[in-house]
A and B are shown apart, each in its own frame.
Chain A
Amino acid sequence: MKLIRNILLCLWAACIALAGQAQAGEDFITLASTTSTQASGFFDYYLPLFQRRTGIEVRVVAVGTGQALKIGENGDADVLLVHDRIGELQFIRQGYGIDRREVMYNDFVVVGPEKDAARIDKMKNAVTALQKIAGSGASFISRGDDSGTNRLERRLWREAGIDPADAQGTWYKEAGAGMGAVLNMTAASGDAYTISDRATWLAFQNKADLVLLVQGDPRLFNQYSLMLVNPEKHPHVKKQQALLFMDWMTSTQGQQAIAGFQMAGQTLFKPNARKQ
């Protein structure tokens, strides 16, 4: 019986250890955000600034905007930093989030192979560019993961009067993956186009012969907003610390720090919070 007793003792000790770890309540909040803010290295630069100031650690779970909203809906995060205005307003309307604040923006870009079979280089109209890609025989790789970028892309196709679902698996490929993975696929395919947020694109290290082709269409504007997960729906939400973070990010100092994050001489996110 000794063996069994020892085994049970071990299990008991492990349970205690696990529980103890869960109890160790350091000062932190959980932020559900998008892949672009993480993959570009922005959080690695930005969050320590806030932590030094307040002692509050921000733990980031970086997923697509669709999944981030779902995490907020379930109450598994305290704050969201996402980029899909329509989805955000719906999130607020449904009562899952409150206090939406626009904090920064950048833009989306259409990238593709240098040889540019669809001839869209320097076009100013993203919708026309997509129409040309669709008619060119080149392929388009879509995020297909219900992220903010994916939602924008689907809106553009709708406006272009093209239903890419018809071309599923031929020239239109849904990757169901994050921005970086899709850029890897696009770079490897040699003849494919995709839409990326500028931050991920600039920070991406495996561009191969991919180049930036279309930018500057107002439709490619990319707004990031903060939202607090509604503490009335989820009482465990760390409202006080989360508000401190939101206040700091929208403060003059927090905004300046956003503008200070540069890569290859370019500002990746431009601050645009309204004065509190």
Chain B
Amino acid sequence: MQGLGGVLQTAVQMMLELDDSLLEIIVLSLRVSLTATVLAAVSGFLLGAVLAVWRFPGRGSILVLLNALMGLPPVVVGLMVYLLLSRAGPLGNLGLLFSESAMIIAQWLLVTPLIAALTQQIVADLMLEYREQLLSLGTSRWTMLQTLLWEGRFSLLTVMLAGFGRAISEVGAVLIVGGNIMHHTRVMTTAIALETSKGNLTIALALGMVLIALACLVNAAVAFSKAYAERAYG
């Protein structure tokens, strides 16, 4: 294997040439992880906000569980989804195993607890700030939930980024439910694992750098639009 300089050079070369197979892997990675993050944001925002706004028995236990699930190993999620989607499993007749959809489902399940737990904290903090005001206006809980989510929108965007980071970086779940099939379910992380197993450590590490560059791009795009939105509506 070459030194770090050689790796960097290979990485830059890869990004400049951007051949079809690399492009395909990048596009698939982004499509899977962005879709999963958006779905997880929808479910996580709702779940987190409900837990922040309502008081009901068992709420404390759910919160503890959610916080614990933030550390859920991807490979466990992968296994659960595998058992669910396998032909021998309850949802087997959908034939979704080893497909892009299976990877999205796995990452969605992986990211939802993270987004829900962080959302709960953000909305709960806002709730402390605005509670009296909202109550004096006689707002219903539903309206309160929507108002607070909207008030926290910029923080929630950062939460989404954290979720995206967890999704795009994991390999355990997508490898099991996607199967690392060329042209179909091969994403950045599973491609890195494959190149490593071929002993192509330089290419593997260069792919890793491309992945970091991608994550930077996504984060920069969000940071930019956030700054713009804050100026416009903040």
Contacts and interface: CB of A to CB of B under 8 A. Distances in A.
Interface stretch (A1-9, A113-121, A157-165): A1-9
Interface stretch (A56-64, A245-253, A267-275): A56-64
B181 interface: yes
Contact of B199 (A7, A62, A183): A183
Given A21-B101, A22-B95, A59-B98, A76 B87 contact: yes
- Residue picked from B45, B88, B96, B197, most chain A C-beta under 10 Å: B197
A109 to B, nearest CB: 15
Interface string A129-172: 00000000000000000000000000000000000000000000
Contacts of A244: none
B9 interface: no
A7 B46 contact: yes
Contacts of A30: 98
Interface in B86-112: 86-89, 92-101, 104
A39 B197 contact: yes
A203 to B, nearest CB: 7
A62 B176 CA distance: 11
* Residue with the greatest number of chain B CB neighbours at <10 A, chosen from A39, A44, A179, A207: A39
Contacts of B201: 184, 205-206
Nearest to B82: A76
Interface in A198-228: 203-207
B181 A18 contact: no
Contacts of B184: 59
Contact of A76 (B45, B98, B198): B98
B94 A205 contact: no
A38 interface: yes
B146 interface: yes
B39 A14 contact: yes
A14 B180 contact: no
B182 A44 contact: yes
Contact of A35 (B89, B101, B197): B197
Interface string B19-46: 0000000000000000100110010011
B98 A180 contact: no
Question: How many interface residues does chain A have, given as a range?
Answer: 35 or more
B99 A181 contact: no
Interface string A56-77: 0001111000000000011110
Contacts of A44: 182
Interface string A1-31: 1011001001100100010011000000010
A181 B198 CA distance: 8
Contacts of B200: 205-206
Interface centre among A76, A178, A203, A204 (most CB of B within 10 A): A76
B16 interface: no
A236 interface: yes
A234 interface: yes
B196 A74 contact: no
Interface string B180-219: 1110100000000010111111000000000000000000
B137 interface: no
A180 B194 CA distance: 9
A246 B200 CA distance: 31
Contacts of B97: 76
Given A206-B1, A206-B201, A75 B104 contact: no
Contacts of B194: 38-39
A22 B182 CA distance: 17
B179 interface: yes
B130 interface: no
A120 to B, nearest CB: 23
A73 B94 CA distance: 18
A43 B101 CA distance: 24
A180 B104 contact: no
B150 interface: yes
Nearest to B150: A3
Contacts of B179: 59-61
29 contacts: A3-B146, A11-B42, A35-B197, A38-B194, A39-B197, A59-B98, A60-B181, A60-B182, A61-B180, A61-B181, A62-B180, A74-B87, A74-B89, A75-B87, A76-B87, A76-B97, A76-B98, A180-B197, A180-B198, A184-B196, A184-B197, A184-B199, A184-B201, A203-B198, A204-B199, A205-B198, A205-B199, A205-B201, A236-B87
Sort A-B residue pairs by CB-CB distance and give the 4 closest, nearest first.
Answer: A180-B197, A206-B199, A75-B87, A61-B179
